[in-house]
Amino acid sequence: MIGSLLLCAGVFAAAQSPDPAPGVHQKPDAEGVYYVGPDITPPAISRAVNAESKDFPKGFTGGFSVWSVIIQTDGTPTDVHAVQSAGGEFDTAAAKAIYACTFAPGKLNGTPVPVHIGVAVPFFLGIRPHPRIAVLEQDLDVAKDAAVRSANAPPLLIHSAEPLFTTDAIRAKYHGVVLISALIGKDGVPTEVRETKPLGMGLDQLAIDAVQRYRYLPALKDGVPVAERVNITVNLKVY
């Protein structure tokens, strides 16, 4: 769970459309970029550069600056944009640190490929503000499950996304469960996403945002894709 932004945090671009062919693992998105998953070795930071230290404003107890990044085949970070802010000058320092880091590219069967990744930079007293790889979205290993689906089957999750946390929730170490209801269309895309058991502190909308990035193999009725509503449990915890 990405509650531990210290260790992990996806990319908020639209996920690839599901491929219904059993046995097929991962394919790139329309731009030729992969997500972390069963066939993809994720990028790594081979040389981390700490973000420039900043004086904490009065009342500021810390936060994460989280960024969406594509690591190219030569390790170059591109398409770098913020998805969670720690504050203006902290975000500026984080961006400079990300560009200064050296990345090892992600690989498909040993061959470098461009990969979507997240990078989180913590700004807390007593913690070094160096960038950490953060997986916010990933393709799931469902080839075996897809291969044995019957003619009448519920939706099968093939691409997941992890929710971010509000700064207030991080500071309070607030956690819990949000229950979500979503209609999974014949194209495997969630619509009509709403919470049925809220948690508060701004986390309900972040859970909804994450579920909207899920992708499924659609439900089947007599072998034909159909829309079906599902209940989804989103666990949110700051470690």
Supply the pLDDT for residue 207.
94
What residues pair up with 63 in beta bridges, in sequence order? 123
Spatial distance between the Cα atoms of 210 and 199, rounded to a whole number of angstroms: 15
Global confidence as pTM: 0.82
What is the fold, at CATH topology level, of the domain defined by 40-236?
Answer: TolA/TonB C-terminal domain (3.30.2420)
Asked whether 70 and 106 are in contact (CB, 8 A), the reply is no
Reading the block at residue 4, the tokens are 């531990």
Supply the pLDDT for residue 172.
72
Supply the pLDDT for residue 15.
40
Spatial distance between the Cα atoms of 169 and 175, rounded to a whole number of angstroms: 7
pLDDT beneath 70, residues of the chain? 1-25, 238-239
Measured on CA atoms in the order 13, 74, 48, 34, is the torsion positive or negative?
positive
Cα angle 209, 211, 217; round to 5: 145
pLDDT in tens, 106-122: 999 899 999 999 999 99
pLDDT in tens, 27-53: 899 999 999 999 999 999 999 999 997
Supply the pLDDT for residue 78.
97
